[in-house]
A and B are shown apart, each in its own frame.
Chain A
Amino acid sequence: MPLIVKLLAQRIALGLILLLLVSGLIFVGTMILPGDVAQSILGQSATPEALANLRAELGLNDPPLQRYIQWLGGAMTGDLGTALTSGADITESIAKRLSNTLFLAFWAAIIAVPLAIFLGLLAVRFKDRWPDKLISAVTLASISIPEFLIGYVLMYLIAVKLRWFPSVAMINDSMTLGDKLSAIALPVAVLTLVVLAHMMRMTRAAILNVMQSAYIETAELKGLNGFQVIFRHAFPNAIAPIVNVVMLNLAYLVVGVVVIEVVFVYPGMGQYLVDHVSKRDVPVVQACGLIFAAVYIGLNMVADIVAILSNPRLRHPK
């Protein structure tokens, strides 16, 4: 299968090139500005001497390209530098927080993905009837409210009024899995709600698209029942679009995590990023930005790879 291998290699190469360019963009994005990092750390009233000292200390006097290459080289060997504000090693701080964030995102995905696909199927099955309409109404509502507000509404109702779960999601290593899950129940619920709507709607569209194909009619005219039509004929063709939907929404989840962590004071990457944006700690922001972008690009790449792998024209060339 030379063609399919070639396409896969191309797609993976594209992903890597994209990641390289994105790292450049993030680096440039923190440079093309009035003033520089030293200025923003010390503020407008800083003395020229203090500025010059700090610039020298941060290596800001080196040419930009050299600094970029140093930074990128460090990033690829796992050295993301040290935080300006605390002097802590960024790689170390991130490692712990990244695993917390992935823990949160993992549980949200575990619940949201099957639920969204199930509800998407339900909407297709009852197209234009009340379950479908209810689902689209909920979708409209949930894409109209920012994540953090859904977070506070749930917190207000469930944590404060009903007292089912804690309102902040503190976790640490000494907690059991059960304790951890109870702690993250609310943020997981919010994240699930946030991606569920999009995912449902897109799953519905993807399946409807397949169900309108002429070969579905052929299957129905063979006297197959609804179950057989969907599983034998619709499903093999719906895999790629559904995986695509799931990946896009997982990518969306990664962004949602940033805000939700702030709402629930959860010790993850998102909160770390937001904290250091306010403190104007550029190396931390660059490192976090790069990791978020890498996850995002990686998920999109997986979606494309699945699409290539599931295309019968590519799997069975003429």
Chain B
Amino acid sequence: MKNIPISAMIGLFFTALYFLAALFAPLIAPYGMAEVVGDVWETSRIEIMLGIAPDGVTEANYWLGTDNIGRDLLSRMIYGGRTTIFIATAATILSFTLGSVLGFFAAVAGGWVDQVLSRFVDLVMSIPTLIFALVVLSVMPVTVPVLILVMGLLDSTRVYRLARAVAVDIEVMDYVEAARLRGEKTAWIIFREILPNALSPLVAEMGLRFIFMVLFVSTLSFLGLGIQPPEADWGGIVKENKDGIVYGIPAALMPAFAIATLAISVNLVADWVLNRTTSLKGGRG
């Protein structure tokens, strides 16, 4: 583990930080999620420290100020992160399990099973994910389980393609043929010959899928089709506070910072996992 590059270290640190904050949100947040504590859009301490506060304001009670109805923005951000990260994680797990199981299955089974699954995935992927999600959400009740399901199922098509491609690549290797000629069962071939060699690219992809899910759920909430108020999530916070922008109130930009740092951190980790894998000589054959 001593060979972790500095960029991956930073990535790991911030990723862990966000996940811990999500886990222990009630302990960390200074106020309640929906608790109104002050005036509308109070100036933040950060603005004062950076010297970008409106003229005449020299004191602030809250680190990130307050939101459009006077709730503490820091607390909302922490609780919002909890919701966003939870939904993204659940959807990633769903998309990943489904996509990789079906992808491996299609690669090993081949024949018509592969054809049917692959053509169906082609079809779903020929509609932009966001558009498809909007079409489905227009008739579905917007609840957390529905969101996770819609996001996870739509995204599993991408995981399916990757898993299938990786497995097909490994499938044609001579060592898999050697195992077949030895008389090994399909389960051995999938779990002992293919999976160990497919794991690392899939894990790296998992990071990218997670980021995509964070962006996706934020976008849906921003459009008013994701998490419903008074629950908080990062996309929703932007929606609630976007009217402040024209008055020069930067509250709506806070989630931008949170999402970007989380996404970049996960990206750095994923990059490292991928590089580490391809660096093993013949790591993917």
Contacts and interface: CB of A to CB of B under 8 A. Distances in A.
A149 B214 CA distance: 13
Contacts of A30: 135-136, 138-139
Contacts of A259: 130, 219, 222-223
Contacts of B256: 145, 149-150, 152-153
B245 A280 contact: no
Give the size range of B's interface with the partner.
35 or more
Contacts of B141: 34
Nearest to A279: B138
Contacts of A18: 122-123, 126
A160 interface: yes
Interface of A: 18, 21-22, 25-26, 29-31, 33-34, 36-37, 40, 140-141, 143-150, 152-153, 155-156, 159-161, 167, 251, 254-255, 258-259, 262-263, 273-274, 276-278, 280-282, 285-286, 288-289, 292-293, 296-297, 300
A276 B219 contact: no
Contact of B259 (A37, A149, A160): A149
A254 B126 contact: no
Contacts of B127: 22, 25-26, 289, 292-293, 296
B235 to A, nearest CB: 8
A141 B271 CA distance: 14
A259 B222 CA distance: 9
A263 B219 CA distance: 11
A60 B235 CA distance: 35
Interface string B118-158: 00001110111111101111111100000000000000000
Contact of A144 (B129, B250, B267): B267
Contacts of A149: 218, 238, 253, 255-256, 259-260
Given A22-B127, A289-B131, A300-B126, A152 B238 contact: yes
B126 A293 contact: yes
A155 B245 contact: yes
Interface string B243-264: 0011110101101100110011
Contacts, number: 144
B211 A144 contact: yes
Nearest to A147: B219
B219 A29 contact: no
A140 B264 contact: yes
A292 B128 contact: yes
Given A22-B123, A156-B250, A259-B222, A286 B245 contact: no
A293 B128 CA distance: 7
A139 to B, nearest CB: 10
B224 interface: yes
B127 to A, nearest CB: 5
A287 B148 CA distance: 25
Given A29-B132, A289-B135, A296-B126, A144 B264 contact: yes
A25 B157 CA distance: 15
Nearest to B135: A289
Nearest to A155: B245
A274 B134 contact: yes
A187 to B, nearest CB: 14
Given A25-B124, A144-B211, A160-B245, A273 B134 contact: yes
Contact of A280 (B139, B223, B224, B263): B139
A41 to B, nearest CB: 10
B128 A33 contact: no
A141 B264 contact: yes
A29 B136 contact: yes
B124 A258 contact: no
A293 B125 CA distance: 10
Given A22-B127, A292-B128, A296-B128, A274 B223 contact: yes
A24 B277 CA distance: 42
B215 A146 contact: yes
Contacts of B140: 33-34
8 contacts: A18-B126, A141-B264, A144-B263, A146-B218, A146-B259, A277-B135, A281-B138, A282-B139
A45 to B, nearest CB: 14
Interface string B206-223: 000001000100110011
Given A25-B123, A289-B131, A300-B126, A160 B136 contact: no
Contacts of B135: 26, 29-30, 277, 285-286, 289
B106 interface: no
B73 interface: no
Most chain A CB atoms below 10 A, which of B127, B131, B136, B246: B131
B128 A251 contact: yes
A276 B238 CA distance: 21
A285 B134 contact: yes
Interface string B264-281: 100100000000000000
Contacts of B245: 152, 155-156, 160, 167
Contact of A160 (B122, B223, B246, B267): B246
Most chain B CB atoms below 10 A, which of A31, A143, A276: A143
Interface in B60-110: none
Nearest to A44: B141
A187 B256 CA distance: 17
